[in-house]
Amino acid sequence: MSAGRPLTKAERKKFNRAEHERKIKQELIAQHGNDLGTFYAWLRLVNIRGTQAYRDGDLTYIREVALALHNVHSRHSG
């Protein structure tokens, strides 16, 4: 984890975010089962990251997610 040294502020922030995302996923899987829980966790994380990207003014992430969702919808809606 820390390679024998304290984590920098940026490393600590990244580590805490990863732990928070892991916790969200575990809770949703425990509540809804593996498939639906994983899907809900994905939606929740995309929402969190999309909000962060929007606040930072980075619309590229939001466009990529919208395109990915459109592609999935197109594949499964016939």
| pLDDT number for residue 73 | 86
Residue type for 52, please?
Q
Q: How much is the pLDDT for 3? A: 65
40-49, long-range: CB < 8 A, 24+ apart: 45/21, 48/21
In the chain, how long is the greatest CA-to-CA distance? 54
Predicted TM-score (pTM) of the model is 0.69
Tens-binned pLDDT, residue by residue, of the chain (78 aa):
556 889 999 999 999 999 999 999 999 999 999 999 999 999 999 999 999 999 999 899 989 988 988 998 899 886
